[in-house]
Amino acid sequence: MTSQVMLPSNAAIISDLDGVTYRGDAPIPTAVRAFQHWHEQGVPYAFVTNNSTKTAEEFADKLNRMAIPVTPDRIVTSSLVVARRVRAEIPAASRVMVIGAPSLVGAMEAQGFQIADKDVRAVVVGLDRAFTFEKLQQAQSALLAGASFFGTNADRMLPHGLGYEPGAGSILAAIETASGVAPIVTGKPQPDLVHMALEILGSDPATTFMLGDQIETDIMAGQAAGLRTILVRTGVPPREVPGVAADIVVESLLELTLSWERTLF
Q: Which residues of this protein are in contact with Mg ion, per CB under 5 A?
A: 16, 18-19, 213, 235
Question: At its nearest, how many Å lie between Mg ion and the CB of residue 88?
Answer: 27
Q: Which of 153, 143, 208, 227 is nearest to 186 (CA)?
A: 153
- Which lies closer to Mg ion via its Cβ, residue 142 or residue 212? 212
Name the closest residue to Mg ion (Cβ).
19
- Which lies closer to Mg ion via its Cβ, residue 202 or residue 237? 237
- Which lies closer to Mg ion via its Cβ, residue 31 or residue 86? 31
Question: At its nearest, how many Å lie between Mg ion and the CB of residue 236?
Answer: 8
- Which lies closer to Mg ion via its Cβ, residue 117 or residue 216? 216
Question: Other C-beta atoms within 10 Å of 161: how many?
Answer: 7
Question: At its nearest, how many Å lie between Mg ion and the CB of residue 208?
Answer: 18
Q: Which of 195, 55, 57 is nearest to 126 (CA)?
A: 55
Please report which residue ranges of 145-208 form alpha helices under DSSP H. Answer: 168-179, 192-201
Cα angle 196-10-3, degrees, rounded to a multiple of 5:
105
- Which lies closer to Mg ion via its Cβ, residue 94 or residue 214? 214
CA 167 to each of CA 91, 129, 151: distance values in angstroms, whole numbers, following the listed order: 29, 9, 12
DSSP label at residue 249:
E
The CA distance from 215 to 221, in Å, is 9
Question: At its nearest, how many Å lie between Mg ion and the CB of residue 16?
Answer: 4
Question: At its nearest, how many Å lie between Mg ion and the CB of residue 121?
Answer: 32
Question: At its nearest, how many Å lie between Mg ion and the CB of residue 17?
Answer: 7
- Which lies closer to Mg ion via its Cβ, residue 118 or residue 156? 156
Q: Confirm if 31 and 21 have CB atoms less than 8 A apart.
A: yes
Q: Confirm if 76 and 101 have CB atoms less than 8 A apart.
A: no
Q: Confirm if 18 and 51 have CB atoms less than 8 A apart.
A: yes
